[in-house]
Amino acid sequence: MISKKSFLQTIIVLSLSLLSCTRTVTAEKDLLNTINKTIHLEAFDIVRQGKVFLSLDELKEKYKYLSVVYLEDGCQSCYPKFIEWHQKFDSIAVSGNYSVLFVIHGKGYSDFMSKVLDLNYVDDKYYSIIDTGEKFLEANKDIPRWIIDASVLIDSENKIKMVGAPWINEDMTKLFYEIVSKGKS
């Protein structure tokens, strides 16, 4: 006969298993519903690359694919994430039709970068938009926040083609290369 303690432990384990399956199913539904949705960037005109400024339209003309990485000033895990994106792409061979666009919610670029540089030096060679309001989140509220936080790969029409960083695992890296290579001229 099963003791009351063993029975409760079994119920807890089964409940956690069912919850994790439910989360997995929800995540899969979120992903399926998000692929080919549009990321809205219309609220932003100016993009910066270090000390150089250009229009968002100029950036979109230059690259067919962008990884859009949402970060927040004050978010302690966002500074290492910014550094990681720079370091990982130093080791991944990407074509000339791809770049990274950081959307940074905060007061200003220099505030964010000073906190990044306190952790590690980064040669900021990718593009950034500073979102002083919450325009990006508001414009993209139909996309689950966890997907926004994971980063998205968009095409020239701002359609989401992939969710997550390309280096997470071998399958993601293959998918990334497959998508980006389709856009070669």
- How many domains is the chain partitioned into structurally? 2
Range of the domain at 22: 1-34
What distance in Å separates the CA atoms of residue 98 and residue 19, rounded to the nearest whole number? Answer: 38
Q: How far apart are CA 53 and CA 157, in angstroms?
A: 22
Both 158 and 138 in one domain: the answer is: yes
Residues 28 and 42 in one domain: no
179 exposure class (CB count in 10 Å sphere: 0-12, 13-18, 19+): middle
pLDDT by residue (tens digit) across 80-133?
A: 999 999 888 766 767 788 999 999 999 999 999 999 999 988 888 899 999 999
Predicted local confidence at residue 183, as pLDDT? 58
Residues 53 and 17 occupy one common structural domain: no
pTM score: 0.83
Check whether residue 69 and residue 149 sit in a common domain.
yes
Does 14 share its domain with 104? no
In this structure, the dihedral spanned by the alpha carbons of residues 163, 167, 172 and 173, taken in order and rounded to 10 degrees, is 130
Shared domain check, 126 and 53: yes
The model's pLDDT over 37-77, given as tens digits with 9 standing for 90+, comes to 999 999 999 999 988 999 999 999 999 999 999 999 999 99
pLDDT of 30: 87
